Chain A
Amino acid sequence: MNFFANQWFSDWLAGLGRITLLARESVASAFTFKFNRRDLLYQIYFIGIKSQSVVLVTGAFTGMVLAAQTYYQFHRVKMDTATLAVVSVSMCSELGPVLTALMVAGRVGASMAAEIGTMRVTEQIDALRTLATHPVDYLVVPRLLASNIALPLLTVEAMAMGIGAGYLVGVYLMGIDPTYLWDNMLKYSHDSDVQIGLIKSIVYGGIIALIGCYKGLTCGLGAQGVGRATTEAVVYASITILITNFFLTLTLEQLAVMLDL
């Protein structure tokens, strides 16, 4: 038992080391502009445009559920008009970035791992290397940068959809006075909530792309290897996002207080 625990821990540490090296190589490559700009644009299209429906539906229904649940609790203490303020703060600093990232991890992270993994098992990555092309420049950097650009934009959309849908539920379903609802939302929401959400989304974009690409580049042979890499990319990215979210919330909220944002 002890042997397996040690083995698991050393494998985990080795994996962490390899993904750190991949991140370092990718950042160095991004700053030297060795990647192809057309590939970057295509990835922004694939991650950003193609994720629209998933993100809009997620944002809207999360905002609606949050508004309804908050209303039922607040109505008991006659705080109905604070409903949208709760929706806004939650959507901007927590639910918007986290749920968007989880949805994108499922759609895009899996696709990155499967595509790169298939390239690995069919020797296409070796072919890239024989054509004097670094796989990090060609495959990882465009995906990493595109994730970092697309995820904040998708997060803003999810935030807006959530708040808009929450407003509609509050006003038309629950019958809350729209003026007080809107005014309280503006009063209790701060710029820092949006800023925290955007910083988080940039970090999550990096996590999704790095884990998706890493799992593809290191996947085992055959269809089983690709399948496992795809599943692991989604699971590891989702868990990493949730754990990172806790520490980011602590750090960024403290920072916002210190800087008086």
Chain B
Amino acid sequence: MIDVRDLKKSFGAQLVLDDVSFRIENGESVAIIGRSGGGKSVLLKHIIGLLQPDSGDVVIDGESIVAMNERQLLRVRRKFGMVFQGAALFDSMTVAENVAFGLRRHEHLTEAEIAKRVARTLDMVDLPGTEEKNPAELSGGMRKRVGLARAIIYEPQILLYDEPTTGLDPIVSDSIDKLIMRVRDHLKVTTVVVTHDMRTARRVGNRVMMLHERKLYANGTPEEIFASQDPVVRQFIDGVADPQENLF
């Protein structure tokens, strides 16, 4: 279970998150939506302890992670898998070495067992036979899939996705959405997806939360959020720019 309490974070003078609180139960699938630069990725990084808040608390399975040092956090992070916006693959390694990274570091398996697990996981993300390729040879969608394979190979309890479909064409985005749903249902993991892609939010989330102006603005089922008549929620879902707003 993920419990975020009164989270505040600022970078220099810029306040990014202001008193954000929510709770995600085990097995839930939550989409966090909001405008670009609105603090969604910052929030996600707080959940896994990559960033420390100015105040507030993040509790994972009853354990507060805010006061933990980096070594104590390593133990908690074994429960997590995270897929980065730019995939963040290790570019000095092959696809197989990337995917096997967590296994090699934390589990005592033979090379044959590792190779078998890597092949099975790559198969699950629809990339069979790509073991020996380098990350530079892969397309954006393939890199995201390898990032997902690396995150799920040791079967984490919680999966975090940071903008999984950003920069991908609609067809590849659709296949990534389906993959997220397949992994969610197959591994029964708690899933948190940060996105500003409305189609992804509607499909992968059992619940949708919206961040707006540094606060948690809306929280409900996809049906409730997408049927909302609140002008802020409506404007974001419909993707309508405010004529008064100076965007450039």
Contact = CB atoms under 8 A, between A and B. Distances in A.
Q: Do A and B bind each other?
A: yes
Interface residues of B, number: 26
Interface of A: 119, 122-124, 126-127, 129-134
B186 interface: no
A134 B105 CA distance: 11
Contacts of A124: 88-91
Interface string B42-83: 000100101000000000000000000011011101101110
Nearest to B82: A130
Given A130-B50, A134-B74, 6 more contacts: A119-B90, A127-B84, A130-B151, A132-B105, A132-B106, A134-B70
B209 to A, nearest CB: 21
7 contacts: A124-B89, A124-B90, A127-B88, A127-B89, A127-B90, A130-B48, A132-B75
Contacts of B75: 132
B84 A123 contact: yes
Q: Which of A122, A123, A131 has the most CB of B within 10 A?
A: A131
Q: Give 10 closest A-B pairs by Cβ, nearest first.
A: A127-B88, A123-B88, A130-B82, A132-B77, A132-B74, A131-B102, A132-B78, A123-B84, A124-B88, A126-B50
Contact of A132 (B88, B90, B102, B150): B102
B104 to A, nearest CB: 8
Nearest to A123: B88
A122 B85 CA distance: 10
B226 interface: no
Interface string B97-124: 0000110011000000000000000000
Nearest to B50: A126
A126 B84 contact: yes
A133 B105 contact: yes
Contacts of A133: 74, 101, 105
Contacts of B101: 131, 133
Nearest to A136: B70
B88 A122 contact: yes
A122 B81 CA distance: 18
A131 B88 contact: no
A133 B80 CA distance: 12
A119 B73 CA distance: 21
A127 B146 CA distance: 13
B86 A123 contact: yes
B78 A130 contact: no
B150 A131 contact: yes
A41 to B, nearest CB: 15
